[in-house]
Structure 1
Amino acid sequence: MMELNPSIVIATIINFIGLLAILKHFFFDKVKAIIDEREALINEQLDNAEEEQEKSRMLAIENERMLKSAREEGKKITEREKQKAESIYEEIIGEAHTEAKIILERAKIEINREKEKAEYELKKQAITLAIEISKKVIEKNIDEEKNRELIDNFISKVGS
């Protein structure tokens, strides 16, 4: 087997301790500072991520509330406009009924006028015919009984 040489072991330990001291003095603090800085950055990013996540959650809640509010407002507006439309519909129907009644009344008045006009024309023609009959009666010089009979016949025909 191999023998351990104490001077090599001591020299290796001294070299190791020296190297460790040099590395600690020049590199360990810088490496530790870089590691600490990186750790702080990561922690800061985690905190920012949590804050952003919380903000996102709050914005989502706010958006949902606004959306719900907008839907409710839309329903109210729709209902209001529907009521306005129904009111206008009822008003138009009422006006149409009123206009129809007015038109019917005018038609009745016009019918009565035409009826009166027709009756007047009929009476006028009846009078004209009576005059004509009277002329014929006088011309024929019929007796009184015949005159009465003719007049009664004429009146009964015109009266019915």
Structure 2
Amino acid sequence: MEVRLSTLIMTWINFAIIILLLRHFFWNKLKGIIEERQNLINQKISKADEDAEKARMYLVKNEQILQSAKEEGKKITERQKEKGDKLYDEIVSNAKAEASSLKERASLEIEREKQKAEFEIKKQAIDLAVELSVKALSQKIDEETHRKLIGDFIAKVGM
């Protein structure tokens, strides 16, 4: 195989012409496409960095909100516990007051019944005394009859 110098020179010249033509017609377009692609990639990287920063900020903010919600939950729980304790104390106090009132009413009722019973006993004693007096006045009383009437009176009264 024989390489001719003229063919070699012509090949180099054709190659140079093709490069010049490609550079003239397509180089700026390729360079623009490459720059656009590079800009798009840079924008996406910037956007990803911004999104990552926003995500970190949201994470911190959400942690603060969560902590605040936990504290508020504790406060609400404590307030409800205090209300429950207060209601419990109030119910116990009302129950004690009601029990005391019932006890007092029962004592009053017992006292009334006692007075009523005493009154009835006195009334019966008076009735018996009157009855005894009537019997004594209607009969001639000697000492033995007198003792018998007193014995009957005591038996009826229950002394």
The TM-score normalised by the length of structure 2 is: 0.91
Residue 94 of structure 2 corresponds to which residue in structure 1? 95
Structure 2 gaps, min length 5: none
Residue 70 of structure 2 corresponds to which residue in structure 1? 71
> For the aligned residues, what is the CA RMSD?
1.7
Residue 54 of structure 2 corresponds to which residue in structure 1? 55
- Amino acid in structure 2 at the alignment position of 1:51: E
Shift of 1:46: 0.6
Equivalents in 1 of 2:69, 2:88: separation in Å?
28
The TM-score normalised by the length of structure 1 is: 0.91
- Amino acid in structure 1 at the alignment position of 2:7: I
Residue 153 of structure 1 corresponds to which residue in structure 2? 151
Residue 17 of structure 1 corresponds to which residue in structure 2? 16
Shift of 1:44: 0.7
- Amino acid in structure 2 at the alignment position of 1:125: Q
Instruction: Report matched runs for 1:108-119 at 5 Å.
Output: 108-119=107-118
Equivalents in 2 of 1:54, 1:150: separation in Å?
119
- Amino acid in structure 1 at the alignment position of 2:151: N
Shift of 1:139: 2.4
1:41 aligns with 2:61: no
- Amino acid in structure 1 at the alignment position of 2:147: E
Shift of 1:146: 3.5
Shift of 1:53: 0.9
The ranges of structure 1 where at least 4 consecutive aligned residues each deviate by more than 6 angstroms after the TM superposition are none
| Structure with higher RCO (Cα < 8 A, 6+ apart) | 2
Residue 141 of structure 1 corresponds to which residue in structure 2? 140
Structure 1 gaps, min length 5: none
Shift of 1:7: 0.9
Aligned residue pairs: how many?
A: 158
Q: Secondary structure at the match of 1:3?
A: coil
Q: Secondary structure at the match of 2:3?
A: coil
- Amino acid in structure 2 at the alignment position of 1:149: R
The percent of aligned pairs where both chains have the same amino acid is 48
Residue 79 of structure 2 corresponds to which residue in structure 1? 80
